[in-house]
């Protein structure tokens, strides 16, 4: 019998600059802070490090997104290496994609164009986070 997995519970991204990534995901994608690491001089910091790695856990709806500041400053995401290719967030409709284009442009976020993938019945808008992680917004295609 296969394992009865039913969706993504959480994911964690390794980032180069925690503050920059936190601002990106909270300010542009509407995540809230669910938990964060205590300062290094806090007596609980060493124990919490085993779970949060000095980072923060964000939440939006049912998705928990951890940011782990363990990458060196010059590191960049590479979708052509083993591991994550991209991560897509669902939005209600094409209007949300068009609104995102304007928001991304006003904040200097690298992005592609809205594309309809008729075979899947979706419209997608690819973009990148501050470390070059390939992200996407996906909406049902207007039919």
Q: Which of 44, 72, 100 represents a domain boundary (last residue)?
A: 72
CATH of the domain at 116: 3.10.180.10
Task: Specify the DSSP element, H or E, that contains 100.
Answer: helix 94-107
Residue 58 included in any domain? yes
pTM over 0.85: yes
**pLDDT tens by residue, the chain, 143 residues:** 888 788 888 999 999 999 999 999 999 999 999 999 998 888 888 888 888 889 999 999 999 999 999 999 989 999 898 888 999 999 999 999 999 999 999 999 999 999 999 999 999 999 999 999 999 999 999 86
Domain count, the chain: 2
Query: Do 49 and 110 sit in the same domain of this protein?
Result: no
Residues 94 and 117 grouped into a single domain: yes
Alpha helices in 1-143 (DSSP H): 18-27, 45-52, 94-107
Residue 25 lies in a domain: yes
Residue 17 in domain: yes
49 and 95 share one domain: no
């Amino acid at each position: 019998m296969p394992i009865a997995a039913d969706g993504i519970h959480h994911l964690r991204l390794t980032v180069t600059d925690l503050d920059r990534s936190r601002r990106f995901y909270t300010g542009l994608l509407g995540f809230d802070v669910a938990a964060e690491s205590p300062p290094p001089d806090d007596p609980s910091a060493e124990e919490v490090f085993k779970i949060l790695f000095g980072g923060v856990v964000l939440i939006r709806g049912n998705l928990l997104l951890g940011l782990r500041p363990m990458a060196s400053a010059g590191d960049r995401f590479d979708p052509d290496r083993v591991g994550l290719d991209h991560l897509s967030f669902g939005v209600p409709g094409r209007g949300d994609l068009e609104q995102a284009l304007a928001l991304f442009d006003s904040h200097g976020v690298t992005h592609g164009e809205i594309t309809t993938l008729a075979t899947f019945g979706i419209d997608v808008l690819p973009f990148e986070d501050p470390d070059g992680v390939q992200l996407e917004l996906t909406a049902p295609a207007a039919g």
